[in-house]
Every structure is written in structure tokens, then in C-alpha cells.
């Protein structure tokens, strides 16, 4: 049986950064380790992977070609400690993975080929969302890849012509209740405002920004307010440098879902 142990690769800060596809390093389960547990002609059979899984700081990749059914994998072969569940139901399949303490690690949509297809959400141990991306037939959507910014990053030219300065707003959607604003000023200062629930723009904070090449680094005066005290951003723009967006850049990809701020028209 295979032992899945996280490997740190010097110079690459774990394998996910090389692939620019995930918050976690990855490892692949083997269909050779698959065990049939229960036969159910109507709803699909139940299977489990008899793989010994010890490390919970990885994302498990499913083998391809699995039959429809329900799948589980466990930490140290303990059926009370789930590492993975997978509901294989053709084109609309779904999987979840868990940390060893039982907290949720990922929610992922799959296609009939057992490839990531649709939304892929990863969580920190605290429950905070760490990464939210979209996949097509196992491939990360190009907008979330770091090489997307090799073409679309307009930060340097927008700073130079002073079009970058003004207010950028993160707008709520049915699944995202918060509302934030970042106001970039020419003197290297920015302000950050946030609204949560019925509290409209209840937080107003200041910080400093600096430019390094094609990226901006924002740091609030109070380092405890953001999970990451220093956040890295790029500014993208449509043709003729219109419709600007301030988007956060992580080591493993572009954070479109949780950290894209649209520039307020007229500023």
C-alpha cells in the first residue's frame, strides 16, 4: 500500500506552485487500491480506497475511469476518519476532502471522466476559504493561472500614466456577502473600507502601498486586520485601458473570486 507523505521541494515551494493549480501539493490515488464494499444496482456500488493516508496537507487526485458509485478514503485506514468522499454520478459528480481533524478541506466538482470540472474550493484549517477556482476537463481556467498576467497585467503603465489611482470596489453576490473598497492614492497611501451585514462601511483603515515591477504590495498600518499582512495585487484592464480591476495574486494563482476589485467609473 502507498504511503502519502508531503514532500517539500526546494526552489519550488511545494509542487503546487510549479503547476500553478492548487493551494496544496497533490498526490494521486490508485485504482489498484480500490475495494468494493457494497453492491447497489439502483444507486451505484460503494467503494473505498485501502490506501494508507497519513498526511492531510495534500489534495488527493482521483484515478480516471471509475464506475458510478460512492467512494471513500480514510486516514490510517480508520473508517471513522474520512479523508475523501466522492459521489460519481456521470457529468455532475462531486467530491469533498477533509483534514485529519474532520474539518472540511475542499469542495470540488468533477465530470464523467473523474477530472476537475467546474468549481474547486479549498479551505484553510480555520475554515477560511483559501482558493476558489474553475476547471475545464481537468485544466485550470486560464484566468486563474499566473501566466495569464504575462499578457493582461497593466499595472506598470497604469501607475505611470496615473490612471491606476482611485477607488476599487469589491461588490457582493448571492454567495459573497461582504463589500470592500480600496482607494489608491498617488503618495503611496491607500485606504481600506469594509461593510459586513448591516454595518455599512463600518471599517476604515489606512496603509501603504509600493510598486515592485508589475505588481503592487499593500500593507495596512494594523497588520492584524488581514490574514496575510502584505497582499500582492495586479491591475488588469480592457482595451484602451478601460474597466480596470485590482486583483489579488497568490503564489499559486490569480484570486479572481475573492479578491477582485472593480474601479469605480469616473475615478
Average pLDDT per run of 10 along the chain, which is 267 residues long? 31 30 82 92 88 94 95 95 95 95 96 94 88 90 88 93 94 70 96 78 89 96 89 88 88 81 82
Q: Are residues 81 and 160 in the same domain?
A: no
Rounded to an integer, what distance in angstroms lies between the CA atom of residue 246 and that of residue 96?
A: 31
Grid coordinates in use for 229? 499582512
Grid coordinates in use for 75? 486516514
**pLDDT of the residue at 175:** 59
Of the residues 103, 121, 140, the one at which a domain ends = 140
Q: Are residues 45 and 90 in the same domain?
A: yes
**pLDDT of the residue at 201:** 72
Rounded to an integer, what distance in angstroms lies between the CA atom of residue 28 and that of residue 64?
A: 10
Q: Are residues 116 and 166 in the same domain?
A: no
SS3 content of the chain, % helix, strand, coil (to 5): 10, 50, 40
In the block, cell 474539518 appears at 103
Of the residues 124, 140, 156, the one at which a domain ends = 140
Q: Are residues 125 and 7 in the same domain?
A: yes
Which is nearest to 168 in space by CA: 25, 267, 40, 44? Answer: 267
- Answer yes or no: are the C-beta atoms of 137 and 111 closer than 8 Å: yes
Q: Are residues 123 and 22 in the same domain?
A: yes
**pLDDT of the residue at 67:** 93
Grid coordinates in use for 3? 504511503
**pTM for the complete prediction?**
0.75
Q: Domain range for residue 90?
A: 3-140
Of the residues 76, 108, 140, the one at which a domain ends = 140
- Taking residue 79's Cβ as centre, other Cβ atoms within 10 Å add up to 10
Q: Are residues 8 and 120 in the same domain?
A: yes
Q: What's the total number of domains in the chain? A: 2
In angstroms, the Cα distances linking 196 to 14, 112, 180, 201 are: 35, 39, 9, 8
**pLDDT of the residue at 117:** 95
Grid coordinates in use for 206? 489606512
**pLDDT of the residue at 5:** 31
Amino acid at each position: 500500500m502507498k504511503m502519502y507523505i508531503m514532500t517539500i521541494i526546494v526552489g519550488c515551494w511545494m509542487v503546487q506552485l510549479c503547476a500553478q493549480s492548487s493551494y496544496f501539493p497533490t498526490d494521486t490515488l490508485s485504482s489498484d487500491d480500490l475495494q468494493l464494499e457494497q453492491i447497489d444496482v439502483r444507486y451505484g456500488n460503494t467503494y473505498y480506497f485501502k490506501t494508507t493516508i497519513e498526511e492531510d496537507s495534500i489534495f488527493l487526485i482521483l484515478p480516471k475511469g471509475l464506475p458510478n458509485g460512492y467512494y471513500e478514503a480514510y486516514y490510517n485506514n480508520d473508517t471513522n476518519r474520512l479523508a475523501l468522499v466522492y459521489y460519481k454520478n456521470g457529468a455532475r459528480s462531486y467530491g469533498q476532502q477533509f483534514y485529519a481533524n474532520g474539518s472540511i478541506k475542499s469542495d470540488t466538482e468533477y465530470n464523467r471522466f473523474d477530472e476537475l470540472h467546474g468549481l474547486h474550493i479549498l479551505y484553510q484549517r480555520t475554515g477560511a476559504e483559501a482558493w476558489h477556482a474553475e476547471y475545464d476537463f481537468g485544466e485550470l481556467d486560464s484566468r486563474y493561472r499566473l501566466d495569464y498576467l504575462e499578457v493582461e497585467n497593466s499595472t506598470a503603465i497604469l501607475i505611470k500614466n496615473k490612471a491606476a489611482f482611485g477607488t476599487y470596489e469589491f461588490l457582493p453576490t448571492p454567495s459573497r456577502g461582504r463589500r470592500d473598497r480600496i482607494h489608491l492614492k498617488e503618495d503611496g497611501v491607500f485606504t481600506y473600507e469594509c461593510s459586513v451585514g448591516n454595518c455599512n462601511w463600518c471599517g476604515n483603515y489606512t496603509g501603504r502601498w509600493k510598486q515592485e515591477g508589475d505588481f503592487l504590495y499593500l500593507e495596512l498600518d494594523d497588520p492584524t486586520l488581514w490574514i496575510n499582512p502584505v497582499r500582492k495585487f495586479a491591475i488588469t484592464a480592457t482595451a484602451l485601458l478601460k474597466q480596470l480591476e485590482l486583483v489579488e495574486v497568490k503564489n499559486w494563482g490569480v484570486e479572481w473570486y475573492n479578491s477582485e476589485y472593480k474601479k469605480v467609473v469616473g475615478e
